[in-house]
Amino acid sequence: MSYIFYNPNPGGKFVGDCVIRAVSKIINHNDWELSYAEIAAEGFRLFDMPSSNYVWGSYLKSKGFVRKNLPDTCPDCYTL
């Protein structure tokens, strides 16, 4: 597997919207605006900022995602 550049931010920005860019890739099929709006609405509902772990975690949970820990069998094997 090789690196593939991905930045759906319409303004080409690279800072401050990491959660939105990641969610747009896994949920909204490269739609940064839709991802931003949905996560911002979740933040509004929870009275917190969209980038807070509580907000984006709640959003992902509502989409059927579950949190799991990486197994500790090979801690040097994982890369991001």
CA atoms of 58 and 79, how far apart (whole Å)? 25
Assess if residue 74 is contained within a domain: no
Domain count for the chain, please give it. 1
Assess if residue 14 is contained within a domain: no
How long, in residues, is the chain?
A: 80
- Span 16-43, pLDDT tens digits: 899 999 999 998 778 999 999 999 999 9
- Span 3-22, pLDDT tens digits: 888 899 999 998 889 999 99
Residue 29, SS3? coil
CA atoms of 13 and 5, how far apart (whole Å)? 13
CA atoms of 34 and 54, how far apart (whole Å)? 19
Is the predicted pLDDT of residue 67 greater than 90, yes or no? no
Residue 23: what pLDDT? 92
Residue 46 and residue 55 in contact, taking contact as beta carbons nearer than 8 Å? yes
Give the residue numbers spanning the domain of 53.
26-62
Of the candidate ranges 11-15, 43-47, 66-70, the one whose mean pLDDT is the lowest: 66-70
Note if the pTM is more than 0.85.
Answer: no
Structure-block tokens of residue 17: 């919207």
